[in-house]
Amino acid sequence: MKKICFYFQVHQPFRLRTYRFFDIGRNHDYYDGFANQSIMRKVAEKCYLPMNQLLLDLIQKYEGRFKVAFSISGVAIDQMEMYAPDVLESFKKLAKTGHVEFLAETYAHSLASLTDRDEFNIQVQNQVKKVEEHFNQTPTVFRNTELIYSDHIGEIVADMGYKGMLTEGAKHIMAWKSPNYVYTNTMNPRLKLLLKNFQMSDDIAFRFSNRDWEQWPLTTEKYVEWLRTMDGKEEIVNLFMDYETFGEHQWAETGIFNFMRALPEAVFRQTDMEFVTPSEAIDQLQPVGPLHIPEPISWADEERDLTAWLGNELQDDAFEQLYALWKIVRATDEDDIIRDWRYLQTSDHFYYMCTKWFSDGDVHKYFNPYSSPYEAYINFMNILSDFKIRLGDGTEEKSEVERLRKLTEQQDAQIRELNKEIGEIRRNN
């Protein structure tokens, strides 16, 4: 019996406030509290609350035959605790059904897996503690930030004790292979891999409301027919997407909630397929073989690589300077220091610095609160300069800031004197 596995990513970054050069050394508040609260409440009302209720209704209606999985970043849970406790309660209700699985991921939705194994481990452990605290589950399946995966990362995850991991069924990796099977990590075959079927996933996540798409409008009958007519030998269809697809990226007016509400009934009526969680899929299906992925992939952009976050001079400089501080940060016992360092690791900050304005430019501009990647970089680096001063590692930054402040004050004084002289000349004439 072929299986369907729904997985949703839930993440909200702590957005940074406009942090100017002359704030350095004077103001250690880096976050835009108004934006963070207002955006969390907006997404809660448009997506999290109505979609959680819809899923709860479906699980109850079909007595557990309908199942889904989530990963929720630690920084998203932090904001739910602060701004949307009702959302957190609605996720807890889903957890109590016994038919919703919560996965492990990095606490800060970070890129730590690419650079620092110790920090990667710590963040995963911290996120798991949040999952255990709120949802009474200990994850056995892992999803890395933005589905980033390589053979090496998979080996690390296997060493952590996870039995499975989610990643992208990227075309340049799969070649002739199908994503609709379970595979294994090449370095540690104990780790099983579930691969996103990007065609079927993106039909919902990105193309659903596109009136120029030749398949618009997408009905449940049409979608289930596509599922039904897949190769009968294939074993699983992994539908992975941002949870904000529902109500936020695809507005309620598009019919996305009605589509999702009708989907399980259509699946049960038109096919013999069943819904499973990732851990169930891993337990029930035998892998068909190892999948060799020597270089990191992700689920972002047409390239399905890391260039959404790393690769240009802005991103690489910010990334390297941030992670260069890890020894000093960990040597401190200051919770605020460690918290800020982790919040600054959130991948969104590097995404905003992306200069790709070709095939995926519109997507990047849609998610970017800054007017340009350069503005995002300058804002981030101003904050990082202040952070270095707090660590005692910013002597050069502090002296340069003070030098420029004094120079600016001198220039302001000279301008004031000049204006006085001009005023005197005008009065005398």
20/305 Cα distance (integer angstroms)? 32
CB 102 within 8 A of CB 137: yes
- 340 vs 233, 322, 344, 382, 425, CA distance in Å? 49, 11, 6, 14, 53
Write out the two tokens for 339: 């918290």
The residues, ordered by sequence, that sit 6+ positions from 340 with a Cβ below 8 Å of its Cβ are 30, 387
Task: Mark residue 255 as left, alpha or beta (left: phi above 0; alpha: psi -120 to 50; beta: remaining).
Answer: left
CB 190 within 8 A of CB 158: yes
Q: Is the dihedral of CA 83, 86, 89, 94 positive or negative?
A: negative
CB 269 within 8 A of CB 328: no
> Which amino acid type is present at position 110?
S
Write out the two tokens for 150: 């390589």
Write out the two tokens for 185: 């990590």
Q: Does residue 217 have a cis bond before it (omega within 30 degrees)?
A: yes
Q: Report residue 364: phi and psi, to 5°.
A: -65, -40
Sheet containing 182-185: give its strands across: 141-143, 164-168, 192-196, 182-185, 290-291
| C-alpha Rg value of the chain to the nearest Å | 24
CB 54 within 8 A of CB 41: no
What is the helix (H) or strand (E) element at residue 240, kind and residue range? Answer: strand 236-242
Q: Is 146 part of the annotated catalytic residue set? A: yes
142/154 Cα distance (integer angstroms)? 10
* Per annotation, catalytic residue among 101, 119, 146, 168: 146
Residue 130: how many other CB atoms lie within 10 Å: 18
Catalytic machinery residues: 146
